[in-house]
Structure 1
Amino acid sequence: MGGLTDWTYDRFWRDVEHPYRRLKRRLLELAGPGMTILDAGCGHTAPNLQELRESGATLIGADLVHLEPQPGMELIEADLAKLPLPDASADLVYSRSVMEHVVDPHAVYAETARLLKPGGRWIFLTANRWDYVSLVSRMTPNRFHAAIVRRFEGREEIDVFPTAYRTNDRGQIAHHAAAHGFTIERFERHGQYPAMFYRVGPLFLLATFYEKLIMKVGLLAPLRGWLYVELVKR
C-alpha cells in the first residue's frame, strides 16, 4: 500500500509468522500417503487443499458455495452439518476462517465426529470472539458486513459471509468438544497484523501497537485475534 502502512508492516510484522502459515505448516507435517483429508469450508477453488497435493493423501473439500472442479481432489457442495460421506472415513479434518460462521455448532461437531476415525484429528483456525474486530462484527447487523469489509479490506461481497461466533472462545469450544467425544490437544491464541486497517496507514499503526501489547502481555492473551485448535476424537 506504500507509505506508513508498508513502514509499519516492515518494522513490526515482516518476521512474525501469520496464523495461516501456522496452520499450513502443521497440515504439511501431518499429511501423508494413505490418509483422507477433508477441508471443511474449502472455498470456491479449495486453495488450502491445493497446498497438500504432493502429500499423497486423498483430498476432499466441502463448502456451501459454488465449487470449481480442481484436479486431484473431490469437491462437494454441501452443508458441513450434513456431508454425504461415510462414517469414520477421514483421518484429518481442518477449517480455516470457517468456524466463526457456524450457526449450529452442535450439528457441525456431531458431523465431524461421525466422519473422523477414532484417533482422528480436527484442526481449525478461527477468529476469537473477544477480538475487537469480532466484537464490532457481533454488534453490527450482518447485512452491513460486506460493505464494511469491501471498504477496509477490498474483499468482494461474494467472499463475505454472515458471522455467528458460537464456537469461538475456550469455553464454547470445550463445551462442544466434550459433548461430542473430542479431547482438546492444542489450544493457542495468536496475534497478527491488523488486516482490517491495512488500507488506512494511521489506523494500521495504532492497531499494531494494540496488537503488540496483547501479544506481549500474558494476561491480555484472551484478547488475541486468532484461535488455533486441535481436537482429537476419543
Structure 2
Amino acid sequence: MKGDQLLHRHYPEARFGGFSDVDGTVAFYSRVQALMTPESVVLDVGCGRGSGLQDDAVPWRRELRSLRGRCARVIGFDVDPDAASNPGLDEFHLLDSGEWPLADSSVDLIVSDFVLEHIDQPTEYFSEVFRVLKPGGVFCARTSNRIGYVGLFASLIPNRRHVQVLRRVQEDREAFDVFPTRYRVNTVWALRRALRKAGLEGIAYGYEAEPSYLGFSSLAYAFGRVVHSLTPSPLRTCLFVFARKPMASAE
C-alpha cells in the first residue's frame, strides 16, 4: 500500500487538505509563522536546497514553509554550496567554520529544521544562536530524538550506510540530502540544558507525527500509529524547541 493510501486509511482527515492532525511540518511551521512578523529578519540554519518548497505535494505545507516575502529578509546558512539555489532565501552564506558570518544581535528569528542531529559542537552552536539573536529574538528547531525508536535504530547503523537504509523507507530521499548524524544534544534533557547554558529561555518537548518511516509495510504502519499514541513526550521520535533571548541581554 502506498504512502498516501496508508495516510488516508489511518488519518482520514488527511483527505481534506492532504495533511493529518498530527502532521509535524504543519505543527512546526505554524508556530514559526506565528512568531514571525513582516519586519522580522529570519535566519534559516541548515537551509538546504529548499526541496520542501518545491517538491511537497501538499500546497498548504508548501505555503507554511515559505517564509520569504512574509518578513523583511530570509538569510540561509549551509555547509552545502548547492543550498545557494534555495528559492526561499534572500541571502545565502556558506558555512566553513564554527563562527556565523552575521553581526551580533542582528536576527529576529532563527529556524533550524532537522539540523541539530548533525551538529558536532552543540555548545558552540547555541553560543552563536545567542550571539546573533536580537534581545527578545526567538530560536525554533525541529530535530530527531536520539532515544526515540527511529533515533535508536539510526544510532545502530553506520553513517556510511544511512543512504542505503533511508532509500528503503523513503524512496524519494536523495543521497546528497543525507548527512552524518551525531546526536550530541538530541534528548529533551540535553536540549533544555543547552538552552540554559547558552542563556536562552525556552522549552524542548517531544512530538509524534505519523509513522512515516514505517510506510514500507501496512502492518508496521498500523503498529507504529498505536505506539505513537502511547509514547510519552521524552521518548517521541521528534523534538521541538522554542526559545527566546532575554530582553535583559541588551547591551
Fold shared, TM-score > 0.5 on shorter chain: yes
Contact 2:74 2:88 in 1 (8 A): no
- In structure 2, the partner of 1:203 is 220
Identity of aligned residues (%): 31
Matched to 1:67, the amino acid is A
So what's the TM-score if we normalise by structure 2?
Answer: 0.82
Deviation larger for 59-68 or 9-18: 9-18
Contact 1:80 1:111 in 2 (8 A): no
Distance in 1, Cα, partners of 2:88 & 2:6: 39
Distance in 1, Cα, partners of 2:161 & 2:89: 37
Match of 2:230 among 195, 208, 213: 213
Distance in 1, Cα, partners of 2:47 & 2:97: 11
Distance in 2, Cα, partners of 1:54 & 1:173: 31
Match of 2:30 among 10, 25, 31: 25
Task: Note closer, same or farther for the CA distance 1:80–1:59 as it changes in structure 2 (3 Å cut).
Answer: farther
The SS at the match of 1:222 is: helix
Match of 2:243 among 213, 228, 231: 231
- In structure 1, the partner of 2:98 is 81
Contact 2:76 2:93 in 1 (8 A): yes
Cα deviations by residue, 1:91-112 (Å, 9 ceiling, x for unpaired): 1101111111111101100111
In structure 2, list runs of 5 or more residues that go unmatched. 15-19, 54-63, 247-251
- In structure 1, the partner of 2:185 is 167
Shift of 1:71: 7.3
1:68 aligns with 2:80: no
- In structure 1, the partner of 2:67 is 52
So what's the TM-score if we normalise by structure 1?
Answer: 0.88
Distance in 1, Cα, partners of 2:186 & 2:133: 21
Task: Note closer, same or farther for the CA distance 1:132–1:114 as it changes in structure 2 (3 Å cut).
Answer: same
Contact 2:46 2:113 in 1 (8 A): yes
Task: Note closer, same or farther for the CA distance 1:34–1:135 as it changes in structure 2 (3 Å cut).
Answer: same
Distance in 1, Cα, partners of 2:243 & 2:144: 17
Shift of 1:123: 0.7
1:136 aligns with 2:153: yes
> For the aligned residues, what is the CA RMSD?
2.1
The SS at the match of 1:205 is: helix
Distance in 2, Cα, partners of 1:167 & 1:159: 21
Deviation larger for 46-55 or 120-129: 46-55
Contact 1:80 1:108 in 2 (8 A): no
Shift of 1:7: 4.9
Distance in 1, Cα, partners of 2:181 & 2:7: 28
Structure 1: 4+ residue segments shifted above 4 A: 46-50
Matched to 1:62, the amino acid is F
Deviation larger for 5-14 or 75-84: 5-14
- In structure 2, the partner of 1:217 is none
- In structure 1, the partner of 2:57 is none
Match of 2:40 among 23, 28, 35: 35
Matched to 1:58, the amino acid is R
Matched to 2:127, the amino acid is A
Match of 1:111 among 128, 135, 147: 128
- In structure 2, the partner of 1:12 is 10
Shift of 1:211: 1.6
Task: Note closer, same or farther for the CA distance 1:156–1:47 as it changes in structure 2 (3 Å cut).
Answer: closer
The SS at the match of 2:127 is: helix
Distance in 2, Cα, partners of 1:157 & 1:29: 33
Matched to 1:87, the amino acid is D
